[in-house]
Amino acid sequence: MLLRFTKMHGLGNDFAVIDLVTQHAHISADQVRRLADRNFGIGFDQMLIVEPPQNPDVDFRYRIFNADGSEVEQCGNGARCFARFVYDKKLTPKNRIRVETSSGDIELQITSNKDVSVNMGVPVLEPARIPFEAPSPAPTYALDVDGQPLTIGAVSMGNPHAVMLVEDVDSAQVLELGPRVEHHPQFPQRCNVGFLQVVSRKEIRLRVFERGVGETLACGTGACAALVAGRLRGLLDEEVTAQLRGGTLKLQWKGDNHPVIMTGPATRVYEGQIRI
C-alpha cells in the first residue's frame, strides 16, 4: 500500500510525519529503520505518528520513533512540527491543541507568526522517575565515565537527559562522550546528552547527542533540560534564548512546579508517498 507522509524539520531536526487518522497502517521498527536511512530511504531523525486519541479530552495521540526504530516518550522539535502538521492538513481547526503522549499530555499553541509554543510540562528531577540511579535529587551529580569524572545535571522532560557544562560547544567532545554517557549504567533507559555553554544569564549555546539517533542539529527537550539544569545551578534567568546548530529557541521556566514553555519554528519540506 502507498502511505502519504510529510517531511518536516524543527531547526534542522528532521522528521517524517505520518497521518494515521485518515490513513491506516502498521509500521514496524524494522520499517522505521529502513525508511530513516539517508541513502536508501527518506532519511530522518525521527518518525512522528498522528493517531486518534485514546483519551476523549485531548485532540490527538502523538507517537515518536527514533531512527533506530525505538519508540520514545517525547520530542520537543517534533511536537512543534506535529502541531503545524495537523493544523495545515486541516485535521483540526484549533490553534491550541491538546496532545496525548506516552509520557503525559502536552499543550501546543500556534502563534500569530506561525511559530509553535509548547507547554512541555513540569520537569522531573526525582532520580527514580527520570530514571537515573542516585540516592536523592541534587542540582548536580558525579558520573564516572570509563574512569573520566564528569559532573552532570539529570532531568526528565518526558525523556531522560544528562546535561554537562562546557566552556565552548564548538570544541566539546560530543561524539566521544555522547554515546558513552547515553549508555551509562546509571541511566537504565539510556539518555540524551546535552553539552551546555552559558553565554549569559539570558543566552545559552547547546549541542545534543540524542538517544538512539546521535547528534542532531537541534533538540527541543534537550534545550528545556539545559535551561532547567542551568537554573538549578543558579546560572540562568527564567527566560532564555537557546542557540542550537539548527537555529534558535525561546525557553521559559519559572521554577518548582512550573512547566517549561518552549517556542520556535516548524517547517514543511515536501510531501511524498512510501510503499509499506
Same domain membership, residue 8 and residue 65: yes
Which of 226, 252, 256, 228 shows the shortest CA–CA distance to 238? Answer: 252
Same domain membership, residue 253 and residue 131: yes
Q: Which helix (H) or strand (E) holds 172?
A: none
Which of 269, 267, 268 shows the shortest CA–CA distance to 11? Answer: 267
Same domain membership, residue 155 and residue 110: no
Give CA–CA dist 9/80, Å, rounded: 9
112: helix, strand or coil: coil
CB atoms within 10 A of CB 153: 24
Give CA–CA dist 231/267, Å, rounded: 30
Dihedral of CA atoms 87, 91, 96, 100 in degrees, nearest 10, equals: -120
Total count of domains within the chain: 2
Task: Give the pairing of strands 60-66 and 96-101.
Answer: parallel
Those residues of the chain that have pLDDT short of 70 are none
What does the pLDDT look like over 76-98, one tens digit per residue? 899 999 999 999 999 999 999 99
Same domain membership, residue 106 and residue 85: yes
Same domain membership, residue 85 and residue 179: no
> Which residue range forms the structural domain that includes residue 270?
2-119+265-275
Same domain membership, residue 100 and residue 176: no
Residue 179 pLDDT: 97
Q: Which CATH number does the domain housing residue 144 bear? A: 3.10.310.10
Identify residue 8 by its one-letter amino acid code. Answer: M
**pLDDT, averaged across the chain:** 95
Same domain membership, residue 131 and residue 115: no
Same domain membership, residue 105 and residue 27: yes
CA within 13 Å, CB half, 14:
14
Same domain membership, residue 238 and residue 165: yes
Catalytic residues: 75, 219
Same domain membership, residue 253 and residue 149: yes
Same domain membership, residue 19 and residue 94: yes
Same domain membership, residue 141 and residue 58: no
Determine if the peptide bond prior to 259 is cis (ω within 30°). no
Residue 239 pLDDT: 98
Residue 52 pLDDT: 95
Give CA–CA dist 136/22, Å, rounded: 46
